[in-house]
Structure 1
Amino acid sequence: MGYVWDAAANDFIRQSPGAVPSDPNNYKYELQCHIGGGDFDSVCLRSQIECPDRADGEVGIPVIWYSMPRGVPGAVWAIHSGPTCLYDAQPEDLLPRIAAAIQRQFESLPINAGAVVAQPSPHTLRGAETNFYANASEQQFDVTMFGQKVHVVATPAQYTWNYGDGTVFGPQPSMGGPLPQERWGEKTRTSHIYAQTGDFRVVLTTSFQGTYSVNGGPPLPIPGQGQFSAPPQGISVWRSITRNYADDCNANPQGQGCPGVPAGR
């Protein structure tokens, strides 16, 4: 179903099914600042017209109207008028526009990337395996796009670990997992060995895949993934020193490590 120009109303109205238009042109509209795909002109958005809700609660969207002559070979769409507010758009008219903009909307959601957990923490040893794992979960959001209710489900899919010492692991599908304390130091899928001592900031980036449904309709896949980073987790890497002694503190009370003996003596 298309739109026709109503001279009496001085506006575009939806064409009745089966009606034969007398206007020689076809008409369509595009969102005011839409430049194709899921992209919008950021400069245009700053000056985009506002469409206040009507008294009947109808939500308006800012559009540009285009026209094209009917039955003319090679004819192209040209700007007819606008920007103006459209209030009688139907959900089916907006589905392609929601699909075009859903990736950008998905990437702007406040998705929690999860938390970084280290074993041991907050201190670990140089040259030893430090186990890292993520706490990340599925999240759901309800947003409004072009006046339509859209339900979004975000599911963690891949993880990238930046261990803070120049080493990056991923993206890969493992979020890792905890080890019992007696197994700390074992190599795991997401563990890391620090070659130097110091303080490091570990950053987890989680890639989420999503689905969306419009007005309670079936879930549809969001084509790309959204990447979200967790707050950095600080970890201090220490070195261990092993010394052998010929006697204990009973035999040599002034020996290294004995009570009251300064460190390094």
Structure 2
Amino acid sequence: MIQTEFQQLPVAAGTSTAQPSPHTLRGAETNFFADAAEQQFDITILAQSVHVVAKPVQYSWNYGDGTHQGPLPASGGPLPQDRWGEKTPTSHVYTLTGDFNVVLTTHFKGTYSVNGGPPLPIPGQGVFNAPPQTVSVWRSVTRNYADTCLENPRGQGCPGAAPLP
């Protein structure tokens, strides 16, 4: 009964953050990390006061393109901007462009105590999904030119130049 009650609590799964965000590049590593916190609830079961503690212990990602990862014991973490694009345990490479809804699933272990008694483990885990986060995957095109716009004002990439086909 406690496992059923645990799964129905309003446990916040936390948030998922992407780097870079909200836009990333096709073919590049996109770093994802979770931020989830321990939560406590006071409920009544069979006329008894029950205190429940939910602690995040594992994290899974649905990257929105048919790829899943996890559950992993670590939530990942932010990278400094100069390291964006590095592979991390929670990163993902998109092979297509478009908008993808990324869903974080956080797995919680729980304990409960009845009427102020000692904490007891809740069997299994509670599994909770965060709201989807949209990530836009773009493509990038790089072109090199031999001269500057000062040297050749009508050259490709210069203001007023004919657009590329």
TM-score bracket for this pair, using the shorter chain length? over 0.9
How do 1:1-265 and structure 2 match up within 5 A? 101-261=1-161, 263-264=163-164
C-alpha spacing 1:194/1:102, structure 2 compared with 1 (3 Å): same
Which position in structure 2 is the counterpart of 1:25?
Answer: none
Aligned equivalents of 1:120 and 1:259: distance in 2? Answer: 29
Equivalent AA in structure 2 for residue 209 of structure 1: K
SS in structure 1 of the partner of residue 82 of structure 2: helix
C-alpha displacement of 1:263: 4.1
Larger CA deviation: 150-159 vs 254-263:
254-263
SS in 1 for 2:64: coil
Specify whether residues 243 and 106 from structure 1 end up closer, same or farther in structure 2 by C-alpha distance, changes over 3 A only: same
SS of residue matched to 2:145: coil
Deviations 1:49-105 (CA, angstroms, capped at 9, x unpaired): xxxxxxxxxxxxxxxxxxxxxxxxxxxxxxxxxxxxxxxxxxxxxxxxxxxx10110
State the alpha-carbon separation in 2 of the partners of residues 136 and 264 from structure 1.
47
Give the partner amino acid of 1:264: L
- Local SS of the residue matching 2:3: helix
Structure 1 stretches of 4+ moved >6 Å: none
Work out the CA distance in 2 between the residues paired with 1:234 and 1:139.
26
Deviations 1:12-71 (A, max 9, x none): xxxxxxxxxxxxxxxxxxxxxxxxxxxxxxxxxxxxxxxxxxxxxxxxxxxxxxxxxxxx
CA distance in 1, matches of 2:96, 2:64: 11
Note the C-alpha offset of 1:176.
Answer: 0.5
Q: Distance in 1 between matches of 2:20 and 2:33?
A: 12
The one-letter code of the counterpart of 2:87 is K
What's the offset of the Cα at 1:252? 1.0
Q: Which runs of 5+ in 2 are unaligned?
A: none
Identity between Structure 1 and Structure 2 (%):
71
Please give the per-residue CA displacement for 1:216-252, whole angstroms capped at 9, x wherever unaligned: 1100000110110000010111111111111110111
Q: Distance in 2 between matches of 1:262 and 1:231?
A: 44
Higher-Rg structure is 1
1:193-226 Cα deviation digits (max 9, x unpaired): 1111111111111111100001111000001101
Normalising by structure 1, report the TM-score: 0.61
